[in-house]
Amino acid sequence: MKLAVGIGLSSRAEADEIVALVTSCLAGLRGEVEVLVSSRRKAGNVALSSAAERLGAPLVLLDDATLARQDVPHPSRVAEARTGLDGVAEAAALHFGPLLVGKTKSAHATCAIAEIAP
């Protein structure tokens, strides 16, 4: 099974935190992480690109219009206040297929995992 890992994060998130969160969310899933996905607003974020490199997955950044088209099951008031979006992690993952793991939070990041639709 091919997996897309959606990531939302604040400017205080570090690569170690992102990798630990993703690793925790992947527990019990069989499959390969094919892509790490987030918002284009995070272009140039060193922690995010470093986490993608450490996880061995390419980083894909989606624009707000693409993220806004997704039907996010757990809207975030924080994300809406900061970005105008219902959420980033779930929306980013949903762009690739159905959710296997819903939004999971750490101190400064969120993660959601979807199976990449064939």
Distance (Å, whole) CA 77 – CA 89: 14
Q: Is residue 77 scored above 90 in pLDDT?
A: no
Does the pTM of the predicted model rise above 0.85?
A: yes
Other C-beta atoms within 10 Å of 30: how many?
A: 7
Helices (H), ranges, the chain: 15-26, 46-55, 64-68, 77-83, 89-94
The predicted structure's pLDDT at residue 118: 81
The predicted structure's pLDDT at residue 82: 85
Question: In terms of C-beta density within 10 A (0-12 exposed, 13-18 middle, 19 or more buried), how is residue 11 classed?
Answer: exposed
Place of tokens 């060193």: 46
Q: Is residue 117 scored above 90 in pLDDT?
A: no
